[in-house]
Amino acid sequence: MITMQYEEDITDNGRILLRYKNLRRLLCTSRMSPMLAEQYMDPQEPTPTSEDILTGRVNSTLVRLTSVLCASYPQYEFQLAPRAAYINAPCYAIVVWKGETKLGSIICSYGRYELTNDRIRKKLKRSTSKKTNSLDTALAIFKREFKPPSEVEGLEAANESICQIFARAKQNMNYKVQRLIPAAMISRDLKKESFTLLLKALELQGVPEDDIEKYAEEYETYRAIKSITYPKPIGLVVKIGNDGNYYTQQYNPRAFDGHLTALPVDSYSPESLPDSLRSGVGLLKLLEDDSFLVDVGYRLNNTSFFVRGTNESTR
């Protein structure tokens, strides 16, 4: 029996990448553990840069690919994504950016290229990335798949993100409020007047004022989340496109578990936007990112929203 033995293909010529202005000097933390990423973002700690990482011996496949991409796509930026944030840390991956939009990532190891992004994941049924041992094939995949998302793709990505956030928000807020008032949570009917009396009782018991304010804030957040997500979210996901138009799609409750079947998309100019959407989006624009508004909806960011309503009232 022949035993195959692999040795990592590394080089000490990684510094040649520093000649490219579209190589970001700060590192991407997406492949680091949460603890290492937190340490890297700590302003009190020394912050390694791309130059520090490239001083060591770097995966030669990564250097070869990144050199070609930096030269061929000056409109994009490329960012090293090591598994740790220390000088000379091993690095096998890069992340590709167009401004603040992430276009995807590429992992290089043992002479193989593994390319992935949302567009690729939606096309593949049994995998989340395209793999090849050929540099030419990797470059062809990059040219075909690593483009800024279309308006519809951006809308679908917002739909998926909002679905994931709703699931986490309901679970987290139920847990937080249940710690304080389990009986009321079981009945799913805690009126605001009852909660106000409960806070007053806690105050008389000597609970610190800061804690009472925190309970009040958590309850208001809970009310907002419940009004939007219980018994189930019904409404439209709205995405403001780069062209200034509004793109809408019915909220997809199964988007987070891989069911990414395309739903119909409507588009409106600012002038033709229905009044129900105009009012809802207008109020949500006043919020901070990742915020709920009672009986109105949710703001993911400055271009992506969920507007609560029935299928009929929001169309």
pLDDT digits (tens, 9 = 90+) for 97-155: 999 899 999 999 888 999 999 899 888 878 889 999 999 999 999 999 999 999 998 89
Q: In angstroms, how far is the first alpha carbon of the chain from the final one?
A: 66
Helices (H), ranges, the chain = 34-41, 50-55, 60-72, 118-123, 135-145, 151-180, 182-187, 192-204, 209-229, 275-284
pTM of the entire structure? 0.63
d(C-alpha 114, C-alpha 302), whole Å? 32
Query: Residue 314: what pLDDT?
Result: 45
Say which residues have a Cβ less than 8 Å from residue 252's Cβ, sequence separation at least 6.
159, 160, 163, 237, 259, 263
Q: What is the overall mean pLDDT for the chain? A: 82
271 pLDDT tier (thresholds 50, 70, 90)? very high
Judge residue 171's burial from the number of C-beta atoms within 10 Å of its C-beta, 0-12 exposed, 13-18 middle, 19 or more buried: exposed
DSSP 147-180: SPPPHHHHHHHHHHHHHHHHHHHHHHHHHHHHHH
d(C-alpha 26, C-alpha 32), whole Å? 14
4 pLDDT tier (thresholds 50, 70, 90)? very low
